[in-house]
Structure 1
């Protein structure tokens, strides 16, 4: 391995360390606890080293969001892969999405609540975000129904899931009724025939 390759590997490893440490700190104490000073202390590097990778907290949030989008896409695809019917796939997608949001609140916030400097729904949208939407579209596009544009249907279904996730987490919806909400969403919005 050349010196250049070793340096590139070290830079990539340090960047992964910064992102994973920020994510861990945010999951434990919330995003307000994530500061460049605290990150530098935790990873045992100086703040200038941290700034050599990221211009600040906003870019770190964006990096966590991109990592989270990749994970969410994988979770959704894994959940829908084994389902027999379209109804089962849509239900599995909804459950997986809501579970991901509940299990990874700091990542979910980085993706959808905080400003990570990422563009959504335009040409500048990073590939991991496009792929996360594609993971939803793969199943929900089939459920759109006759005459409904699949992307638009996916946006509306996703917005419904996002609302359920954020309202449940905020304590405005009781979590014990999540399964009933998923069933209602699938039954009414997707209008899938019983199989």
Structure 2
């Protein structure tokens, strides 16, 4: 392997190590506990090395968020595919794919609270709803849209309906995480939301 390629690979591995360490620390102690000093200690590199990879903590959190969007896309796609297979087998209704996406989203938010914060709550330099959207964000939105669009009524913009569905799920996830909703009624809320979208 050429020297330049080896250096580039080592740099990418260091960057991934920093992102993984930030994510682990955030999930264990919350984002307030994630500092460059703690990260440098954890990955056994100096703070200047961290800054040679990432401009600041916001850039590290954005890298964590991008990783999360890839994982969210996988979770939504797999949930919808399983529901579609069950619907083809006659075991479930057509709206089951929408329900599966909603449940997968809420499960993801509940299982990865710090990752979810990096993706949707913390201030970020990531661009949403513009032509400069990173690929992993576009793919996550597309997974939502594929589930929602079959239920768009004539004259209804499928993208706006998707945004409404996503923002409703985000509100549920955020309120649930803050213990602002009845913990035992998540399924009922999902049913109501799916019913409103699917008709």
Q: What TM-score range do you get, normalising by the shorter chain?
A: over 0.9
Separation of aligned partners in 1, 2:34 and 2:124: 13
Note the residue ranges of structure 2 that are not aligned, 5 or more in a row: 88-92
Match of 1:6 in 2: 6
Match runs of 1:1-195 below 5 Å: 1-83=1-83, 84=87, 85-191=93-199
Separation of aligned partners in 1, 2:153 and 2:107: 26
Instruction: Name the SS for the 1:86 alignment partner.
Output: coil
Ranges of 4+ aligned residues in structure 1 off by more than 6 Å: none
TM-aligned CA deviation for residue 146 of structure 1: 2.4
Separation of aligned partners in 2, 1:98 and 1:145: 25
Separation of aligned partners in 2, 1:72 and 1:86: 22
Separation of aligned partners in 2, 1:188 and 1:140: 11
Note the residue ranges of structure 1 that are not aligned, 5 or more in a row: none
Separation of aligned partners in 2, 1:27 and 1:175: 21
TM-aligned CA deviation for residue 86 of structure 1: 2.9
TM-aligned CA deviation for residue 4 of structure 1: 1.1
Q: Which moved more, 1:156-165 or 1:137-146?
A: 137-146
- Tell me the alpha carbon deviations over residues 155-179 of structure 1, each in whole angstroms, 9 at most, x when there is no partner: 0011110010000110000221011
Separation of aligned partners in 1, 2:48 and 2:39: 11
Separation of aligned partners in 2, 1:70 and 1:164: 21
Separation of aligned partners in 1, 2:14 and 2:154: 50
TM-aligned CA deviation for residue 82 of structure 1: 1.7
Q: How many residues align?
A: 191
Separation of aligned partners in 2, 1:98 and 1:125: 23
User: RMSD over aligned Cα, in angstroms?
Assistant: 0.9
Separation of aligned partners in 2, 1:163 and 1:190: 19
TM-aligned CA deviation for residue 100 of structure 1: 0.4
Separation of aligned partners in 2, 1:134 and 1:81: 14
Separation of aligned partners in 1, 2:183 and 2:57: 32
